[in-house]
Amino acid sequence: MIEENSASVVYNDLVMEKVKKTKLNVVEAAAKINSSELVAFLLDITERYDTKQEIQLMRLADYFGAAFSKVSTSKFPWIKILKASSVAKMADVPLSNLPEDVYKVSVDWLNHLSSEALGSFILWSLDNLIDDLFLHQGATKRSNKVVQQATSRSQVAIFMVLAMILRCQPDVLISLLPILKENPKYEGEDKLPVLVWLIIQVCQSDLVDGMFMWAHFLFPKLKSNFISDSSTDLILQVVEWIISFPRARAILVNGSVRKGERLVPVSVLELLIRVAFPDLSARSKATERFQAVYPTLKEVAIAVTPGSEEVKHITQKIMMFTIKAAGEGIPDLSQEASDLFVWCLTQNPACCQQLDNIYLEHLEGSVILKKLSDEWKTISYEHPTLDTLKESLRNFPVKVIVVHKNGRF
């Protein structure tokens, strides 16, 4: 981890001016940063701390901290900004204020650092922001560990450096996913705006990585029975924003598998179908919004190469939750679950045998057989090779077929 004490001493060649009575806003302070001086500074610290990249990153944070030292908390009330902003507006906070040449110099340098050093800096920065959040909330319980607390006016610098790292090396945040999931310090709805800000920085350069973080980290938070409407809205805003990007659908479908992991795993598809098609009594303002993003997310979730080994695994998993969902007596959920079930049968002939094996254990899912019966002509026309399915349906016990008045195949 980063040597936190090293951040307490500002780099010797970095001269901080005395804070004048007149404060600057973020735009004014950013405009004063000289890219040529920054280049010289980066070359110097790279040579001075050749094998200590974590210290190099802390020095960069010091540099920006000095540059933004005249920006008071009132000029950058980051907690208020994140809570009050839509995801679209949050995306450029505060990086849009940084001159392009300064951004390019910084990113070119950051791209040469290791993922380990960048990951450590991300966690250090996130911990500082959370500590600052606790202070503003008036928290009385503090950790026994002594953590260097960045001053309020240096939060601009932390956000600047974090945003640049996440945009030039977005996969670093995914490498931290186990820590973000397992460490309780990152739980709680009060942390959500900060975590969302991290993820939307990733989206700015890589939609696939951004969607991965949404599906594997943000969206599962909806399983909590205590999540507020405002948090649900924020989580929805992220995915709505992602799929609004030009060519987002094609990018996400083509990137449906990331380094061997599904972008939208079956477990997420199962949760998604339930929040998009709930019982009438459970509908909310968010329901229609989930239904709007559902088709794109479903397409990403079931994007597979026909006949591949992956098809077998996915279809078998989807079959198990859809046959249960189809029998829960919720019309819209039943319809969508049945459609997914039929898709499994058309993609994987082995599912027909699996249907034989599991059907009697899930008689509540008989609505699926009725759908097959009612729509057999259409299904068989679109999928003329379904002889195995046709034979399986003929072989069902008579007492099962009787359930379906139109059960003639």
- Count CA within 13 A, CB hemisphere, residue 210: 27
- To the nearest 10°, report the CA torsion of 375, 379, 384, 386: -90
- Count CA within 13 A, CB hemisphere, residue 216: 23
Cα–Cα dist 155/143, whole Å: 20
The answer to whether 241 touches 266, Cβ cutoff 8 Å, is no
Structure token pair of residue 90? 């949050």
Cα–Cα dist 177/182, whole Å: 9
- Output the CA–CA distances (angstroms, integers) from residue 301 to 209, 241, 270, in the order listed: 15, 18, 10
Rounded to two decimals, the pTM is: 0.86
Cα–Cα dist 104/79, whole Å: 27
The answer to whether 264 touches 300, Cβ cutoff 8 Å, is yes
Residue 22: predicted pLDDT: 65
**Mean pLDDT, the chain cut into blocks of 10 residues (409 residues total):** 49 46 85 97 96 96 94 90 93 94 98 98 96 76 44 78 98 98 94 97 97 98 88 97 97 95 97 96 94 98 90 92 89 92 85 71 66 68 61 50 45
Cα–Cα dist 366/360, whole Å: 9
Cα–Cα dist 253/241, whole Å: 16
CB proximity list for 116: less than 8 A, separation 6 or greater: none
The domain locations on the chain are 1-169, 190-303, 305-409
Residue 30: predicted pLDDT: 96
Structure token pair of residue 89? 């507006």
State the chain's maximal CA–CA distance in angstroms.
89
Structure token pair of residue 252? 């996400």
Q: How many helices (H) and strands (E) does the chain have?
A: 23, 2
Cα–Cα dist 386/364, whole Å: 24
